[in-house]
């Protein structure tokens, strides 16, 4: 292996001169460490800003920097000797300890943000990749899919990116997130017809899917009649953004199994979820120790926003990281 690759090994370069023989002796263990290894065993792809997708090699100044800062490909198979390549002053024992305690230095969130492909690299025989490499590959796949469907527009002094599958619009200039339900009747929507068309197309497809699913659920006729009162009615302006973005539309019915084993039915209205038995009569239920017959979804109601979020997580399957939707944002 050409030692010129390792431009961070200043002591090794000095060892080639007679005055550096002490350094050569101190680093001679590296010859055994790298026996049979190829440059590809030390090469990784970086996602360092401005260098995205470029190849770096351990032992070089840039390679060591990007590697230690966490910009290395999570699918780089790292072995204990790689730490000696980064710092040739380490003994084999020290490198082994560092390998076990430090683990893979790659930071998954940096790689996910870069949306780069992750090919297997490094020492595929003696090394191991980041333990989260499979999950990171899936996150990158999702991020790329969202990017492919995304629509970015300039509006006023700001730039906005819409993701139809999320029903969300992101302010690139102010880092704010807006629910499409809050924007679809706004000047912003009217000024960006292409974006509006794509967002509405996806939302309509989702509504059709929800209707098909609801038809397959055994809902008592008395409960259906209650729900039909709210067909074609939008959510009240006073409900939380989280409700507009993630809760089923008004007239939806949520079959809920209570502690007794019975099934009750939550009818989504424009401002609440009302609970009925099979006969269509209101029933009191305990929702997180709160005895209620109607679950208020409005910002000034009797139910805390955190409870509305928890209810959605438990009974609707909402993701947990939705705190930002518990307050109103305006584009």
Are 47 and 175 members of one domain? no
Residue 201 has pLDDT above 80, yes or no: yes
Kindly state whether residues 11 and 119 are assigned to the same domain: yes
- Both 18 and 131 in one domain: the answer is yes
Check whether residue 326 and residue 246 sit in a common domain: yes
Domain C-terminal end among 91, 124, 142? 142
Residues 6+ apart with CB under 8 A from 75: 118, 119, 120, 121, 129, 130, 133, 137
Chain-wide mean pLDDT for the chain?
81
Report whether pLDDT(19) > 50.
Answer: no
pLDDT of residue 21: 41
How many other CB atoms are there within 10 angstroms of residue 129's CB atom? Answer: 21
- Same domain? For 17 and 107 the reply is yes
Distance from first CA to last CA of the chain, Å, rounded?
A: 58
Q: Are residues 156 and 134 in the same domain?
A: no
The count of structural domains within the chain is 3
H or E element: which one contains 229? none
Q: Give the pLDDT score at 205.
A: 66
Q: Are residues 47 and 113 in the same domain?
A: yes
pLDDT in tens, 57-102: 998 999 999 999 999 999 999 999 999 999 888 888 899 999 998 8
C-alpha 263/C-alpha 278 separation (Å) is: 8
Q: Could you say which of 142, 170, 198 is where a domain stops?
A: 142
Residues 317 and 248 in one domain: yes
| Cα separations in angstroms, 251 against 50, 181, 228, 313 | 51, 17, 6, 20
Q: Are residues 193 and 223 in the same domain?
A: no
Residues 256 and 286 in one domain: yes
Among 179, 210, 241, identify where a domain stops.
Answer: 210
- Is the domain of 248 the same as that of 171? no
pLDDT at 255: 86
148 backbone dihedrals φ, ψ, rounded to 5°? -65, -35
> 191 lies in which domain range?
150-210
Mark whether 89 and 21 lie in a shared domain: yes
29-42: pLDDT as tens digits: 677 778 888 989 99
């Amino acid at each position: 292996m050409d030692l010129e690759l390792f431009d961070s090994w200043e002591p090794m370069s000095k060892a080639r001169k007679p005055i550096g023989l002490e350094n050569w002796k101190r680093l001679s263990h590296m010859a055994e460490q790298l026996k049979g290894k190829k440059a590809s065993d030390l090469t990784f792809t970086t996602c360092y800003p401005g260098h995205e997708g470029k190849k770096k090699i351990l032992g070089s100044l840039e390679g060591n920097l990007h590697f230690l800062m966490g910009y290395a490909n999570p699918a780089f198979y790292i072995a204990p000797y790689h730490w000696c390549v980064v710092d040739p002053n380490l003994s084999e024992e020290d490198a082994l300890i560092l390998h076990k305690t430090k683990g893979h230095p790659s930071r998954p969130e940096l790689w996910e943000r870069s949306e780069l492909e992750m090919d297997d690299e490094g020492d595929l025989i003696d090394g191991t990749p980041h333990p989260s490499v499979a999950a990171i590959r899936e996150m990158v796949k999702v991020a790329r899919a969202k990017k492919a469907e995304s629509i970015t527009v300039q509006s006023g002094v700001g730039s906005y990116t819409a993701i139809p599958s999320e029903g969300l619009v992101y302010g690139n200039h102010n880092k704010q997130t807006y629910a499409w339900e809050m924007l679809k009747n706004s000047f912003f929507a009217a000024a960006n017809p292409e974006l509006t068309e794509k967002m509405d197309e996806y939302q309509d497809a989702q509504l059709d899917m929800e209707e098909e699913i609801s038809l397959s659920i055994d809902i008592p006729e008395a409960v259906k009649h209650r729900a039909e009162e709210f067909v074609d009615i939008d959510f009240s302006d006073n409900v939380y953004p989280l409700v507009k973005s993630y809760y089923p539309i008004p007239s939806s019915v949520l079959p809920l199994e209570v502690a007794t084993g019975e099934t009750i039915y939550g009818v989504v209205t424009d401002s609440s979820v009302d609970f009925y038995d099979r006969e269509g009569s209101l029933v009191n239920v305990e929702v997180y120790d709160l005895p209620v017959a109607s679950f208020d979804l409005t910002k000034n109601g009797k139910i805390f926003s955190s409870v509305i979020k928890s209810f959605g997580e438990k009974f609707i399957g909402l993701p947990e990281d939705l705190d930002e939707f518990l307050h109103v944002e305006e584009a």
